A and B are shown apart, each in its own frame.
Chain A
Amino acid sequence: MNEQALITDAQGGNLDAFNTLVLHYQDSVFNTALRILGDEDQAADASQEAFISAFKSITSFRGGSFKAWLMRTVTNACYDELRRQKRRPTTPLEPDTDDGEEMDSPRWLADPNMTPAQQAEADEVEHAIQHCLNNLPLEFKTVVVMADIQGMDYTEVAASIRVPLGTIKSRLARARLRLRECLQGFAELLPASYRLTTDITQ
């Protein structure tokens, strides 16, 4: 696949050329959206929106890493989706008491440990990691998804989310630390070779 030729054709309005790029990148785009949003349906919608938006603005691509440019588009689509969810939440922000009234304190929300029911559901490593990813702040999650899941290098990630390289390094380190804290709770799920060695609470 001659990526540059396809991009040039797509910039000239050739939809078939763009669709060839879509087929090449759609799994990466979908996985990025899935890890950021944590929901398959929402990730599929965000991916479709991202490709539509990418085609409409492909003339603004001025060279460099096309994958990084595409990842910026999909992260923007994910941010839009998350903003939409915030505006129209589908579940109450605070749980109801037995009397049907909202609990005064949302401390349950800050609890990093899953409830027993959630624990039972997260019986696979993937679910555990996704759970930990979902607990990360959005800016950390985006960086760790791009760098560690998509395997992009620091400069690509920096170009993709338009922040300085130093910020990428800092966010990535803190994201990994938080993931490490979270994954401590799933030690029994992890393969022996990946068991975490440090008790960070000490």
Chain B
Amino acid sequence: MNERDLELLSSYLDGQLTPSDSARLESRLKSDGGLASTLDDLRAARTLLRQLPKRRAPRNFTLTRKMVGLNPPLPRSYPAFRFATVLATLLFFFTFGVNTLAPQLVQVPLFGMGGGAPDEPELFSAQAPALESAAATEAPAATEAPLESASDLAPLPTAMPPSADSARAVETPMTKVGEAENAGAADQPQVASEAPRPAPVIPSMWQSAFAVVAILGASLMALLRRSASNRWK
């Protein structure tokens, strides 16, 4: 039995031969006992296979949403909330960063402009109070010369009323100079004792608004997700 005959017999069994091929094979089957016997065997094998008992599935294979990783359908407004929340969060951090960094960036040119020792007191006076007090604890010898020149340039106003702050200023020469300069420049004795704090570039009201929008948006998104998943259950 060659492969070609076997293929013909198999296709004949399934009715896949053309009428002419079928007629030719049928005439051969009448004269060739071996061919007919093989056809019977193939038919018997095919019948056995077709009569194999059909097993029922041992369980239902229906899918759950978890199996296929489906998320509950969210309302159409959800992307808008998400966008607003993300934007407000970004803006909040941006404004926070701007307000923190802007004063330092403004001070940077001061380092380059003066270039000499005489400007150092002016630089110190513009810095934050913490830095000012830290500098004040340094060795007096290092700041002696500039202090003298600074006191020459900006003498203490005689009309300044005595206060606890001014008393403290006397204790440390460094603060004395800074306050003297501030008092001289602004000519306001009440403010002179406090360190100059630059106004924020972006008003804190905006920061608060961004924070509120971000928190509200995140809360709303969580609520929407929860209600959608509850509806799905």
Contacts and interface: CB of A to CB of B under 8 A. Distances in A.
A47 interface: yes
Contacts of B58: 30, 40, 44
Contacts of B10: 169, 172-173, 176
B42 A149 contact: no
Given A55-B68, A149-B50, A176 B45 contact: yes
Nearest to B36: A197
A198 interface: yes
Interface residues of A, number: 49
Nearest to B38: A198
Contacts of B55: 27, 30-31, 34, 40
Given A173-B7, A177-B6, A198-B38, A23 B60 contact: yes
A129 B63 contact: no
Contacts of A30: 55-58, 61
By secondary structure, the B interface counts as: helix
Nearest to B42: A176
A142 to B, nearest CB: 13
A32 B46 CA distance: 16
Contacts of B117: none
Contact of A196 (B9, B11, B45, B62): B45
A48 interface: yes
Interface string A179-202: 110010000001001111110100
Contacts of B32: none
A126 B14 CA distance: 23
A140 to B, nearest CB: 12
Nearest to B7: A173
B205 interface: no
B144 to A, nearest CB: 79
A126 B45 CA distance: 12
Interface residues on B, range: 35 or more
B197 to A, nearest CB: 57
B52 A27 contact: no
B16 interface: yes
A173 B38 contact: no
Contact of A180 (B14, B41, B63, B68): B41
B97 interface: no
A159 interface: no
Interface in B15-44: 16, 34, 37-38, 40-42, 44
Interface string B42-86: 101111111011111111111101011010000000000000000
Interface stretch (A14-22, A97-105, A115-123): A14-22
Contact of B57 (A27, A170, A174): A27
A23 B59 CA distance: 10
Contact of B52 (A149, A193, A195): A149
B3 interface: yes
Interface of A: 13, 15, 18-19, 22-23, 26-27, 29-31, 34-35, 40, 44, 47-48, 51-52, 55-56, 125-126, 129, 144, 147-149, 151, 153-154, 169-170, 172-174, 176-177, 179-180, 183, 190, 193-198, 200
Given A169-B11, A173-B10, A198-B34, 17 more contacts: A22-B62, A26-B57, A27-B54, A30-B55, A34-B55, A44-B59, A51-B61, A149-B52, A151-B50, A172-B10, A176-B10, A176-B46, A177-B6, A190-B48, A194-B48, A195-B44, A196-B45
